[in-house]
Amino acid sequence: MNRVDSSPPILVTGAAGRHGGTGRRIVELLRQKGRPVRAMVRKMDERCADLVQLGAEVVVADYMDYEALCLALSGVKRAYFCFPVNVGITEATVNFVAAAKASCLEYVVNNSMPIAHPASPSPLARAQWMSEQILNWSGLRCLHVKGAFFFENILLFSEDTIVDRGVIENGFGDAPLLWVAADDVASVVAYELEQADPAQNPAILVTGGELLAFPQIAERISSRLGRKVGYRNTGDDEEAWKKLMSLNPRIPPAMRDHLVGMSRMLKSVRDPRQPGNTFTPLLGKPAVSFDDFLDTHRARLLRAMEVSSQGHNREVHPTQERKTQNESE
Ligand SMILES: NC(=O)c1ccc[n+]([C@@H]2O[C@H](COP(=O)([O-])OP(=O)(O)OC[C@H]3O[C@@H](n4cnc5c(N)ncnc54)[C@H](OP(=O)(O)O)[C@@H]3O)[C@@H](O)[C@H]2O)c1
């Protein structure tokens, strides 16, 4: 670690991390290799101390602030572009590309999603496709990294009901989903950002190879935690599912529409030829499995279940847990 490297800093946007936290993990991986990193955050808060501790230069910039983006990109040749699963990605991409073109950026690795498509039933997947188009037209060399469904979603969407009532409730039903750990997506991005000759492929799919429907997810949680966790399908009533999601402050309205659109798509297109593990062949190490992921969170979930069964309030959030997870590595 900390080998002296006088190359230009790599800009990592979304560095504080909230949902998958890929940005924070990419900063960590690049710093472990001794790379100079500029970590872009939307605001200064306690997460920035962690980035400074990792040896990153922290800059504050909002995607909607062109001048701030120009400063963040100053002297940067390579960057990671990461917008959250929320509205605003097209405006953010236009601003980012304009600022990149006004600076010396050469290569951008973009965090996108496999279902980015102009005809997707999800408004956010359509917006993500537009963002990809803007980057493709920009003249910058660009790689779209498309991770499968993050394991982290399970905690973001259902940790409270798993802990308090032993149940996962959503409208995905028994549609199989391809999964991956957000940390594995981060590993691929960090690897690509470091390549002497950036990837020529316009896009890579990153999956750990596990194809699991939610009823199986509930079974695996039950067996790993030794506590019964069931699955309740909210069925075809999309409004009922959205209403349920509105009770969870971690799921903004645009993400609710995205999940409903995604489940609609999964129900209509059941492709049995889903690709397997794409992570291991690329990085030559095993992908994080769902059981590995559960083991990382097992002790905390069991503690939370204990507290909940005693009728006490919990103060737990998966993104706070990410810190604990990474600290314990
Ligand atoms: N979840 C999945 O299953 C999945 C699957 C495939 C692909 N993806 C892709 O993954 C991407 C998200 O990655 P992630 O989960 O690693 O992200 P994340 O943890 O949610 O981090 C996104 C970061 O962006 C920051 N941010 C939000 N608005 C901003 C703005 N206007 N200007 C500057 N920064 C802003 C946030 O800051 P604050 O924390 O301060 O708000 C946050 O730290 C999405 O593009 C999605 O398409 C996700």
pLDDT at 294: 97
Give CA–CA dist 40/38, Å, rounded: 6
Confidence at residue 324, expressed as pLDDT on a 0 to 100 scale = 37
Q: Which CATH superfamily is domain 10-147+182-206 in?
A: NAD(P)-binding Rossmann-like Domain (3.40.50.720)
To test the pocket of ligand 1, the residue of 42, 86, 146 to mutate (highest count of ligand atoms within 8 Å of its CB) is: 42
Residue 157's contacts (CB-CB under 8 Å, 6 or more residues apart) are: 168, 170, 245, 248, 250, 251, 259
Q: What is the pLDDT of residue 36?
A: 98
Q: How far is the CA of 1 from the centre of ligand 1 (A)?
A: 27
Q: For a substitution probing ligand 1, which of 85, 258, 323 has the most ligand atoms within 8 Å of its CB?
A: 85
Please give the structure tokens belonging to residue 12.
Answer: 């990592």
d(CA 131, ligand 1 centre) in Å: 14
Q: Rounded to the nearest whole angstrom, what is the distance from the C-alpha of residue 69 to the centroid of ligand 1?
A: 17
Distance 170 CA to ligand 1 centre (A): 22
Partnered with residue 79 across adjacent β-strands are 11, 108
Helical (H) or strand (E) element with 58: strand 57-60
Residue 22 CA, ligand 1 centroid: distance in Å: 8
pLDDT score, position 216: 98
Q: Determine the average pLDDT of the residues in 33-59.
A: 97
76-115 confidence digits (pLDDT tens) = 999 999 999 999 999 999 999 999 999 999 999 999 999 9
- pLDDT of 182 above 80: yes
User: Which residue, by CA, sits nearest to atom 8 of ligand 1?
Assistant: 113
What pLDDT was estimated at residue 321?
A: 46
Residue 84 and residue 19 in contact, taking contact as beta carbons nearer than 8 Å: yes
Q: Residue 20 CA: which ligand 1 atom is closest?
A: 15
Q: Taking Cα atoms as reference points, which of 14, 55, 53 lies closest to residue 37?
A: 55
Residue 24 predicted with pLDDT over 70: yes
Residue with CA closest to ligand 1 atom 14: 20
pLDDT digits (tens, 9 = 90+) for 283-326: 999 999 999 999 999 999 999 999 998 876 665 555 444 433 33
> What's the Cα-to-Cα distance from 74 to each of 67, 106, 282, rounded to whole Å?
11, 12, 31
Nearest protein Cα to ligand 1, atom 34? 42
**Span 55-70, average pLDDT:** 98
**Higher local confidence (pLDDT), 311 or 257:** 257
**Nearest ligand 1 atom to alpha carbon 149:** 3
Please report the pLDDT score of residue 313 as a whole number.
65
Cα 106 to ligand 1 centroid, rounded to whole Å? 22
Please determine, for residue 2, whether its predicted confidence score (pLDDT) is greater than 60: no
pLDDT the model gives residue 328: 33
Q: Which residues contact 79 (CB under 8 A, 6 or more apart)?
A: 10, 11, 12, 13, 73, 100, 105, 107, 108, 109
- Where is average pLDDT lowest: 15-19, 56-60, 308-312? 308-312
Look at ligand 1, atom 40, and give the residue with the nearest C-alpha: 42
Q: In this model, does residue 327 exceed pLDDT 80?
A: no
Q: Which residues line ligand 1 (CB under 6 A)?
A: 14, 16-23, 42-43, 62-64, 82-85, 111-113, 128, 147, 149-150, 153, 182
Question: Whose Cα sits closest to atom 39 in ligand 1?
Answer: 18
Ranking 174-188, 216-230, 267-281 by mean pLDDT, the lowest is: 267-281
pLDDT value at position 316?
53
SS3 31: helix
Residue closest to 309 by CA, chosen among 209, 236, 228, 243: 228
Nearest ligand 1 atom to the CA of 88 is 31
- Of ligand 1's listed atoms, the one at least distance from the Cα of 92 is 31
Q: What is the pLDDT of residue 274?
A: 67
- Relative to the CA of 114, which ligand 1 atom is closest? 6
pLDDT, averaged across the chain: 92
Which atom of ligand 1 is closest in space to residue 116's alpha carbon?
A: 47
Residue 114 in contact with residue 148, Cβ under 8 Å? yes
pLDDT score for 268: 81
Query: CB neighbours of 148 closer than 8 A, spacing ≥ 6?
Result: 114, 177, 178, 179, 180, 205, 206, 207, 208
Residue 326 has what pLDDT? 37
